[in-house]
A = this chain, B = another copy of it.
Amino acid sequence: MVQTSDILVGAIEAGGTKFVCAVGTGPGERMLARAAFPTGERPAELLATVVDWLKEQEGRHGRLRALGVASFGPVDLRPGSPTYGFITSTPKPGWRNAEVLGPLRAAFADIPIGFDTDVNGAALGEHAWGSAVGLSDFVYITIGTGIGAGALVGGQLLHGLVHPEMGHLRLRRESKDRFRGVCPYHEDCWEGLCSGPAIKKRTGMRAEDLPPEHPAWDLAARYIAQAVANITCVLSPQRVILGGSVPKGGRLGGDRLFRRIREKLQAALNGYISAPALGPEIDRYLVPPLLGDDAGVCGAMALGQRAAGEEPAV
């Protein structure tokens, strides 16, 4: 059960383009301060800036009781590991094997720090204040520059061996699709066929600019539906949240894109799994994130509150 709480936390959404930081107890008017810093190529400098900003907010708003960090990756999430809290094999200049947690731990030695992937953070934020309140099992997917996913399973964030890499699912090619794909590891995995850069390379246009009748929308809907069908078969989630820039649907509109994906998802499952969520209630099974572009930083807040041993405030 989610409990009301007033735990003041510092939140860091560590993204590949910018670090979004916040101080507060939740979204909206409960977010007392917010700032963004470009990620750049010098992790230590950036983290020092972030620490200064958080300390300054403490002076204004009171003592922080926890920090939460939702980071781009891949990241090392194994608490016993010597590189716990590091970004590991990213191609991003300056960030390979960069320590994210260490400088924060040094500056805030006496409070708990929650650390997880950006997508697990976003999942937790949607669980606390968004489209997944009250659920124990759901998936949060983002389709943008890349495709990634976080998940809650039995009420816990999914980690396992490393962390999920759902964007790299192999999909069945649509019969007329000859596009080669853009993934450097797998060419035409889901991310290779359906991410923002894939759509741009396939069509010469950004997804945002594609005309509503462009066949790339139908293709994207089919691949997304197939991937969600496979995720449904493996994880049996109660809901799937689809965020990021591509599901916004550009000039087609998110509502129309979601409708198409849901139709093709039901066609792919073909009634095999008997559950209202996959039948008449499909509109509530596949949904956009409620926190929108705030999902990341709110997720970091939720990670902080969870680290402090309490469920995020609602």
Contact = CB atoms under 8 A, between A and B. Distances in A.
Contacts of A169: 230, 233-234
A229 interface: yes
Contacts of A168: 233, 269, 272
Contacts of A153: 153-154, 156, 158, 160
A203 interface: no
A119 B168 CA distance: 26
Interface in A187-230: 226, 229-230
B164 A233 contact: yes
Contacts of A268: 170, 186
A172 interface: yes
A245 interface: no
Nearest to A268: B170
Interface in A264-294: 268-275, 277-278
Contact of A164 (B172, B235, B271): B235
Interface residues of A, number: 45
Given A156-B154, A230-B169, A162 B235 contact: no
Number of this chain's copies in the assembly equals 2
A169 B170 CA distance: 11
Contacts of A237: 160-161
Interface SS, A side: loop
Contact of A165 (B74, B162, B272): B272
Contacts of A269: 168
A39 interface: no
27 contacts: A74-B274, A88-B274, A137-B159, A137-B161, A153-B154, A153-B160, A154-B156, A158-B236, A159-B236, A160-B235, A160-B238, A161-B236, A161-B238, A162-B273, A164-B235, A165-B233, A165-B236, A165-B272, A166-B233, A167-B233, A168-B272, A170-B171, A170-B172, A170-B229, A185-B270, A230-B230, A231-B234
Given A164-B234, A170-B226, A186-B268, 19 more contacts: A88-B274, A137-B159, A137-B161, A153-B156, A153-B158, A154-B158, A154-B159, A158-B236, A162-B236, A162-B273, A166-B233, A168-B272, A169-B233, A170-B171, A170-B229, A170-B230, A170-B268, A185-B271, A230-B230
